[in-house]
Amino acid sequence: MTKSTTSAQGAAMIPSQPGPGRTASAGQDEDTVIPGAGPAPRPGERPTLRLRDGGAQQEEPPRYAPEWLELREAADASARAGELLDPLRIRLANLPGRPGGLVVHDLGCGTGSMGRWLAPRLDGPQHWVLHDRDPYLLHFAAAASPRAAADGSRVTVETRRGDVARLTPDALTGAGLVTASALLDVLTREEVDTLAAACTGAGCPALLTLSVAGRVEFTPADPLDAELTAAFNDHQRRTGLLGPDAVTAACEAFAAHGATVHVRPSPWRLGPDAAALTAQWLRGWVGAAVEQRPELADRAQKYLAARLAALAAGELRVTVHHSDLLALSRPRGGTA
């Protein structure tokens, strides 16, 4: 993992991180942010999974630390919209039977939290294909993958490292489901359309969870909340990424390719019971806002100190809004 220094404005975007297997605590240095806690990529970075042809392959520093992914896993699991599983189960039950069971492609899998959440909620044998360009994260994902489905059927996994230059229907041959978590908002509109075209071309449903919605609610409120939210949202849109516009763009893309799309809210509800995650998210959120608008630095530094103090006192609660999307493509030879 690489490190970067704190900006002159005090925007603690990703200066350092804990060692492997150690989780950051709410009481650690206020200038420390685990890689990934600032959800928007910095200029020049690309998502963990690349969907378009980038020409010559170039090594890039990993964007997510396993410590951050571990820290957010429980909040992700609580937030995901479980009501989308019923229409998904109905669609999967109507797909043609495949020897070996359901094949699931998990894009940008990180440490495999999506599989740990979803596989035990689906019946029948499953084979998960875990995609990520970071071999360190793939190691975690494979080692901690679930072994049994909801009905006790076997779950197996394989890992595939590297960027996906062009995701096509052929790349999803045999797939019964595509999943991803916290991925859409770090893609461009072109990449989202490529993803939608591949899934619909393969007749494959897609469950894409935890895309940021661009809205944050604090209790108690502060006059600077709205200004920091706007700056953070603009930061996420840098370099052409969709950020908080991702779900709208994905709905349009999948619908244009003939899919039926369902969207449900999946908010994080953070507070003293998740103090370490709340503190890490808050530092990264404020840091990204200041990186986008350096003139906010002085006020933001005081804001962050006050928010962290309120968190330590058990007085701060935050709702970070996300959306989950289920796209039901027409099965090959069938109707949606």
The predicted-structure confidence for 66-119, as pLDDT tens digits, reads as follows: 888 899 999 999 999 999 999 999 999 987 767 779 999 999 899 999 999 999
Helix (H, G, I), strand (E, B) or coil at 332: coil
Q: Which fold has domain 66-213+241-267+321-328?
A: Rossmann fold (3.40.50)
For residue 7, pLDDT beyond 90: no
Question: pLDDT above 70 covers what percent of the chain?
Answer: 78
Q: What is the pLDDT, as a whole number, of residue 65? A: 78
Q: Round to whole Å and give the CA distance between 214 and 233.
A: 6
Q: What is the pLDDT, as a whole number, of residue 162? A: 64
Q: How far is CA 327 from CA 165, 194, 226, 309, in A?
A: 22, 14, 32, 42
- Which of 38, 33, 155 lies closest to 103 in space, CA to CA? 155
Burial class (CB in 10 A: 0-12, 13-18, 19+), 249: buried
Q: What is the pLDDT, as a whole number, of residue 154? A: 96
Backbone torsion region of residue 103, taken as left when φ is above 0, otherwise alpha when ψ lies between -120 and 50, otherwise beta = beta
Q: How far is CA 142 from CA 20, 108, 137, 234, 314, in A?
A: 16, 13, 9, 35, 37
Q: What is the pLDDT, as a whole number, of residue 31? A: 56
Which helix (H) or strand (E) segment is 129 a member of?
A: strand 126-132
Alpha helices in the chain (DSSP H): 66-79, 85-94, 113-118, 135-143, 189-201, 225-236, 246-256, 275-292, 297-312
pTM: 0.83
pLDDT grade for 62, boundaries at 50, 70 and 90: low
Structure-model confidence comparison of residues 135 and 256, the more confident one: 256
Residues 229-257 have a mean pLDDT of 96
Between 7-11, 91-95, 237-241, the lowest mean confidence (pLDDT) is in: 7-11
Q: What is the pLDDT, as a whole number, of residue 177? A: 96
pLDDT grade for 161, boundaries at 50, 70 and 90: confident
The predicted-structure confidence for 121-156, as pLDDT tens digits, reads as follows: 999 999 999 998 888 899 999 999 999 999 999 999
CA dihedral 293, 295, 301, 307 (to 10 degrees): -60
- Which of 67, 63, 70, 57 lies closest to 134 in space, CA to CA? 63
Q: How far is CA 272 from CA 47, 105, 218, 278, 279, in A?
A: 30, 35, 13, 8, 10
